[in-house]
Amino acid sequence: MAALPLINSERLREHHFCLAAIGATARGGIDRQALTDADTEARGLVVSWAKRRGFALSCDAIGNLFIRRAGVSEGEAAVATGSHLDSQPGGGNFDGVYGVLAGLEVLESLEDAGVATRRPVEVAIWTNEEGSRFSPTTMGSGVYSGAYPLARALESTDGQGVSVAAALGRMRQRLPPCPSRPLGVAPHVYVEAHIEQGPVLEAMGATIGVVTGIQGLRQYRVNVIGREAHAGTTPLRVRSDAFVAARRIAAEAEALATTEGDEARFTIGRFEVLPGTPNTVPGKVTMTIDLRHPDEAALDRIETAVQHLCSTCAAPCVASMETTLAAPPVHFSETITHVVKEVAESLGFRTKAMISGATHDAGFVSRLCPAGMIFIPCRAGVSHNAEEHAEWADMFAGARVLASVLLRLADANEISPPEQTAPAKELK
Amino acid sequence: MAALPLINSERLREHHFCLAAIGATARGGIDRQALTDADTEARGLVVSWAKRRGFALSCDAIGNLFIRRAGVSEGEAAVATGSHLDSQPGGGNFDGVYGVLAGLEVLESLEDAGVATRRPVEVAIWTNEEGSRFSPTTMGSGVYSGAYPLARALESTDGQGVSVAAALGRMRQRLPPCPSRPLGVAPHVYVEAHIEQGPVLEAMGATIGVVTGIQGLRQYRVNVIGREAHAGTTPLRVRSDAFVAARRIAAEAEALATTEGDEARFTIGRFEVLPGTPNTVPGKVTMTIDLRHPDEAALDRIETAVQHLCSTCAAPCVASMETTLAAPPVHFSETITHVVKEVAESLGFRTKAMISGATHDAGFVSRLCPAGMIFIPCRAGVSHNAEEHAEWADMFAGARVLASVLLRLADANEISPPEQTAPAKELK
């Protein structure tokens, strides 16, 4: 296998810096939450680059954007890649954007080299992967794959009461018109490039992570209802302090999660206390729990135990828990992981097979077609943080592997069908 | 001692309902935070009632408003009462407003009965007692008594960045012009009526609380700095999770406070988690601690221990703690408490000597003149809550006691000087 196509590392670097300026924060990261003006501006820039090269654009009902380089055999399903341009409010310059730019770089390099592929090659920009402004996460790929109902996604609102439908409308007004395409069209295969967002590759001295699957994710909302009271007059023993009950539940739930081993990830990222004045005993707390584990049975055990905690540990307050997201563990196509490993090693890169700790759009797309991911190292595993960082050499390496993998798959005849995955659970 | 002056219970009830409509919430309470339009409207209504009776009005530089019924000997210092009209965001209909209306009722009843007092009788409406919109609490009486610098109070801003100076300017524009008066003019005596905001009087079957002092109050702001990280990829053992560190400090600090006995009051009322998204490990928490105890030495011990906690218990995060308010325990004038007890019992009411758990404007005014307070019961001790409730009979009883106490003090010749109190600590 030749090392072709050679990607243009200067162009990739230039595109990276152009996007890093959109939504830039004083801390050196970005705040480019889904469907904001900054997210819209970033899309507009990528669209302008795609148009310059004559690539076809299309957009679906949840705002996913597709950039397509035609194949010789246009009737065949596309070989696809992609990721997302939205970020956490305190996000970095690599999460998501790297996969989009690496994908665009593959298309441009194929064009530069005049390579004709049998199948079309497509780059997807998925809407609202982060889920920080609108719940849930991976909304765009979830709707596209049929795991989330479109109508419910469009009704989701941000903290100011703005709906996804309204924010999408605003974005569409500000971008050039784009042909629409239906949801759910299955690519031939999907391979997403992404920074690892964890410390494994760096620690192992490996350049390419061959991602075999994604750990399962569940998100919950816990409401604790107490009774507001005067901080100066109400003895501690007669209080129904929602803060005290919530922090107790938080501590015990985390302790429970850790009994399922080092692989368990337990995070309370949002914790809102009402009324929130220094001299009033809190009457209400709303907190989120983000729980992850590669083993579905372990997730079930922790969930049951935390549910039990809510009913036994909140007194004299009352706690309730609802599931807001339940994504089962994903197992990627063995055919794809085999190709990624083989290509990366033929290019001279050290590889490491691994399970992704983070959720990715590739998880939902794997319900439609054989899918996989290519990870590159990120410094100290730091992500969702302004200090998120990847080395240029690793970014170029990942783009080269992606290019060769897509090229090989675009000309291959057969690929095994997607593995059966469990259906998405009902969401609230 | 005669039971004169008889207060007009119908008028007091009517005034109560008129004010309960201003800033009314769906839950049956009020949201009338300091210097808002609702607070301004409430003041405007009380001003109109005062003007109708020909009482003199004056206003100082921090917006405290004084309603004065002239005495025979106008050169002498006034016998004063009062309280506040502002509320917590989820406040009730009795906290503060009762003391203002009971005071106004005394002035009107004296007028109705044609009673001439030697000294003037005054009702003060103190600005921003609650401190929920602008920090610190008891701002108006604190500035008036010289405990807080005026300039610093005027610079205090709310969550939207509006300063006290700007909000005061807006309020003045919307009320009729009012003659100004200097800060710090000492009344002859000050007696404030208030709901207990605790369960003691109701539990004892007493109608009048003879308040001998106010427990000490300290408020702190604790900042915990961790490191934002991805919730899915970052193993628990390598996280610097600001939420986890803050909840641990909160739990241990509360346990420490309770070692100082049942009288300790420890409240975490505000707890802000950043960036506040479900799938990011929190990088920062800011929380408030409200700590109260009748014994200054106990406050010192708890403060030292919590400071120690912040330096030892936050790792791998870093916690810092600053004092935002330090009000030492207050001991009211024995002369005043003696008069209150004697008057209440002569009117046939059961009394109970008690220390106030809540901070009140009377605490700061006690630095200028002999001061005291009259408590009436409130249902189940609930306050800072829409369900706050006092019985009509108790409200009338308290107003009758207040009227007789003020009448006796307005004609008395001598009163002992204020006890020495510790100076206010430096505030941040």
What HEC string does B345-366 produce?
Answer: HHCCCCEEEEEECCCCHHHHHC
Best of B138, B234, B260, B373 to mutate (most A CBs within 10 Å, chain A): B234
How far lies A173's CA from each of A33, A153, A166, A180, B351, in Å?
Answer: 18, 20, 11, 14, 71
Can you say whether the dihedral through the CA atoms of B153, B159, B161, B164 is positive or negative?
negative
> Per-residue pLDDT averaged across A89-96, rounded?
95
Best of A94, A247, A267 to mutate (most B CBs within 10 Å, chain B): A267
Which member of A227, A269, A281 has the closest CB to residue B278? Answer: A269
pLDDT digits 0-9 by tens, B336-379: 999 999 999 999 999 999 999 999 999 999 999 999 999 999 99
Nearest to B111 by CA among B55, B171, B32: B55
Chain A with chain B: Cβ pairs closer than 8 A: 248
> Per-residue pLDDT averaged across A70-85, rounded?
95
pLDDT of residue B426: 35
**Considering chain A, what percentage of its residues have pLDDT values greater than 70?**
95
Closest residue on chain A to B228 (Cα): A385
Cβ–Cβ contact A213 with B under 8 A: no
- Quick one: angle between helices A392-411 and A9-20, nearest 10? 110
Cβ–Cβ contact B159 with A under 8 A: no
- Which tokens go with A167? 């924010």
Q: Does A273 contact B275 at a Cβ distance shorter than 8 Å?
A: no
Residue corresponding to tokens 């290509």: A343
The mean pLDDT value of chain A amounts to: 93
Interface of A with B in 285-314 (CB under 8 A): 288, 290, 292
As a whole number of angstroms, the distance between CA B280 and CA A132 comes to 9
Residues 6+ apart with CB under 8 A from B288: A278, B219, B220, B221, B222, B268, B269, B270, B271, B324
- Quick one: angle between helices A296-312 and A242-258, nearest 10? 150
As a whole number of angstroms, the distance between CA A107 and CA B285 comes to 44
pLDDT tens for each residue of chain B, 428 residues long = 344 558 999 999 999 999 999 999 999 999 999 999 999 999 999 999 999 999 999 999 999 999 999 999 888 999 999 999 999 999 999 999 999 999 999 999 999 999 999 999 999 999 999 999 998 889 999 999 999 999 999 999 998 999 999 999 999 999 999 999 999 999 999 999 999 998 899 999 999 999 999 999 999 999 999 998 889 988 898 899 999 999 999 999 999 999 888 889 999 999 999 999 998 999 999 999 999 999 999 999 999 999 999 999 999 999 999 998 888 999 999 999 999 999 999 999 999 999 999 999 999 999 999 999 999 999 988 888 899 999 999 999 999 999 999 999 998 655 554 444 444 443 33
All residues of chain A having their beta carbon less than 8 Å from the beta carbon of residue B382 are 227, 229
Interface of A with B in 350-389 (CB under 8 A): 356-359, 381-386
3-state secondary structure of A59: strand
Residue B275 contacts residue B283 (beta carbons within 8 Å):
yes
Residue B349 contacts residue B401 (beta carbons within 8 Å):
yes
Q: Does A282 contact B290 at a Cβ distance shorter than 8 Å?
A: no
How far lies A294's CA from each of A203, A208, A358, A359, B424, in Å?
Answer: 21, 21, 11, 11, 57
pTM score, whole prediction: 0.79
How is residue B263 annotated by DSSP? T
Let me know the angle formed at the C-alpha of A383 by B244 and B310, rounded to the nearest 5 degrees: 25
Which member of A235, A262, A278 has the closest CB to residue B269? Answer: A278
Q: Does A267 contact B359 at a Cβ distance shorter than 8 Å?
A: no
As a whole number of angstroms, the distance between CA B421 and CA B366 comes to 9
pLDDT of residue A43: 98
As a whole number of angstroms, the distance between CA B314 and CA B246 comes to 7
Closest residue on chain B to A245 (Cα): B251
Residue A250 contacts residue A354 (beta carbons within 8 Å):
no
The mean pLDDT value of chain B amounts to: 93
Q: Is the N-terminal amide bond of B5 cis, ω within 30° of 0?
A: yes
Residue B105 contacts residue B7 (beta carbons within 8 Å):
yes
Can you say whether the dihedral through the CA atoms of A348, A350, A353, A357 is positive or negative?
negative
Q: Does A231 contact B90 at a Cβ distance shorter than 8 Å?
A: no
Let me know the angle formed at the C-alpha of B270 by B265 and B272, rounded to the nearest 5 degrees: 145
pLDDT digits 0-9 by tens, B183-233: 999 999 999 999 999 889 999 999 999 999 999 999 999 999 999 888 998
Residue B143 CA from chain centroid, whole number: 14
pLDDT of residue B414: 52
All residues of chain B having their beta carbon less than 8 Å from the beta carbon of residue A33 are none
Radius of gyration of chain B (CA): 23
As a whole number of angstroms, the distance between CA B340 and CA B398 comes to 10
Q: Does B382 contact A270 at a Cβ distance shorter than 8 Å?
A: no
As a whole number of angstroms, the distance between CA A345 and CA A131 comes to 35
Q: Does A278 contact B266 at a Cβ distance shorter than 8 Å?
A: no
> Per-residue pLDDT averaged across A281-288, rounded?
97
pLDDT of residue A3: 43
Q: H or E stretch including A203?
A: helix A200-204
Q: How many CA atoms lie within 13 A of A267 on its CB side?
A: 36
What are the E-state strand segments in B159-253? 189-195, 208-214, 216-225, 229-230
All residues of chain B having their beta carbon less than 8 Å from the beta carbon of residue A280 are 88, 90, 132, 267, 269, 384
How far lies B48's CA from each of A59, A157, B95, B122, B176, in Å?
Answer: 63, 45, 21, 16, 9
Residue A336 contacts residue A189 (beta carbons within 8 Å):
yes
As a whole number of angstroms, the distance between CA A116 and CA A110 comes to 8
Q: Does A279 contact B243 at a Cβ distance shorter than 8 Å?
A: no
Q: Does B243 contact A250 at a Cβ distance shorter than 8 Å?
A: yes
Q: Does A278 contact B267 at a Cβ distance shorter than 8 Å?
A: yes
Cβ–Cβ contact B277 with A under 8 A: yes
> Per-residue pLDDT averaged across A283-296, rounded?
96
Whether pLDDT at A417 is above 60: no
Let me know the angle formed at the C-alpha of A62 by A55 and A140, rounded to the nearest 5 degrees: 85
Interface of B with A in 42-81 (CB under 8 A): none
Best of A279, A354, A389 to mutate (most B CBs within 10 Å, chain B): A279
All residues of chain A having their beta carbon less than 8 Å from the beta carbon of residue B356 are 232-233
Interface of B with A in 118-137 (CB under 8 A): 130-132, 135, 137
pLDDT digits 0-9 by tens, B86-107: 999 999 999 999 999 999 999 9
Which member of B244, B270, B357 has the closest CB to residue A273? Answer: B270
Which member of A196, A244, A275 has the closest CB to residue B88? Answer: A275
- Quick one: angle between helices A37-52 and A97-113, nearest 10? 10
Residues 6+ apart with CB under 8 A from A161: none
Cβ–Cβ contact B236 with A under 8 A: yes
Cβ–Cβ contact B273 with A under 8 A: yes
| Adjacent-strand bridge partners of B193 | B374
pLDDT of residue A262: 86
All residues of chain A having their beta carbon less than 8 Å from the beta carbon of residue B227 are 382, 385
ipTM of the shown complex: 0.80
